[in-house]
């Protein structure tokens, strides 16, 4: 496979957005995701971070396909969860990292839904204490967009784990309590809560 430069992929995303086209072809989407995955799993930190940002954008322009769902595999999520678990990860990197996971958990990519559709990500997320510890602290971040994404991610993991992975759900909730996630969530200021409510994120976590 020939790796496509992530900068070219990003430029092509801008073009398809400007033309108001709906999605890339399946073949193009596959080649783009495979290329970005190679950068994300690589050792170059700049290429890794930039490719995560591009992948988060790309997933808004891919068709619904089981083939694409399978490309979002355990190796990719291992890299993403590792980044999301690191307390030194800047907000501008953490937000697209979590957004990739959120899009995956919405079910908008997979055409065929089974009991193990989301297992690849859920197993890694539910069993990672450092992840929830970091995300709990990020609730106090000044970037409300990041706070919203954190809440969206946690609520979707809770929802999908409740559907299919009850044993992992128990462990995940236990870790959330240990890192005082719910306490920190309750401690958000009135302005933050008002904005999150307008965006629908408070409703999402309540449902979960």
Tokens found for residue 4 = 């496509």
DSSP characters over 62-125: S---HHHHHHS-HHHHHHHHHHHT-TTS-HHHHHHHHHHHHHHHHTSS-SS--TTTTHHHHHHH
Count of helix runs (H) and strand runs (E) in the chain: 13, 0
Q: Is the pLDDT of residue 207 over 60?
A: no
Position 205 scores a pLDDT of 56
pTM for the whole thing?
A: 0.92
The phi-psi region of residue 20 (left if phi > 0; otherwise alpha if psi is between -120 and 50; otherwise beta) is left
Q: Is the pLDDT of residue 25 over 70?
A: yes
Q: Is the pLDDT of residue 74 over 90?
A: yes
Q: Quick count: other Cβ atoms within 10 Å of Cβ 104?
A: 24
19: confidence class by pLDDT, cuts 50, 70, 90: confident
Q: Is the pLDDT of residue 206 over 60?
A: no
Q: Is the pLDDT of residue 155 over 80?
A: yes
Tokens found for residue 171 = 């462990």
Burial code of 19-54, b = ≥16 C-beta within 10 A, e = fewer? eeeeebeeebbbbbbebbbebbeeeeeebbbbbbbb
């Amino acid at each position: 496979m020939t790796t496509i430069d992530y900068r070219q992929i990003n430029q092509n995303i801008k073009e398809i957005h400007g033309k108001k086209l709906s999605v890339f072809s399946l073949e193009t989407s596959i080649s783009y995701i495979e290329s970005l995955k190679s950068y994300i799993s690589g050792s170059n930190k700049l290429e890794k971070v930039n490719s995560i940002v591009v992948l988060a954008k790309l997933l808004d322009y891919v068709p619904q396909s089981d083939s694409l769902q399978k490309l979002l595999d355990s190796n990719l999520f291992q890299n993403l969860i590792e980044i999301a678990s690191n307390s030194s990860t800047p907000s501008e990197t953490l937000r697209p990292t979590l957004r990739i996971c959120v899009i995956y958990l919405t079910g908008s990519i997979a055409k065929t839904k089974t009991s193990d559709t989301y297992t690849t990500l859920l197993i890694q997320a539910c069993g990672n204490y450092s992840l929830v510890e970091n995300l709990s602290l990020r609730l106090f971040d000044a970037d409300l967009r990041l706070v919203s994404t954190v809440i969206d991610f946690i609520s979707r993991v809770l929802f999908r784990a409740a559907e299919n992975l009850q044993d992992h759900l128990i462990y995940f909730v236990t870790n959330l309590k240990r890192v005082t996630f719910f306490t920190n969530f309750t401690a958000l200021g009135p302005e933050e809560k008002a904005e999150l409510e307008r965006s629908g994120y408070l409703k999402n976590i309540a449902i979960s």
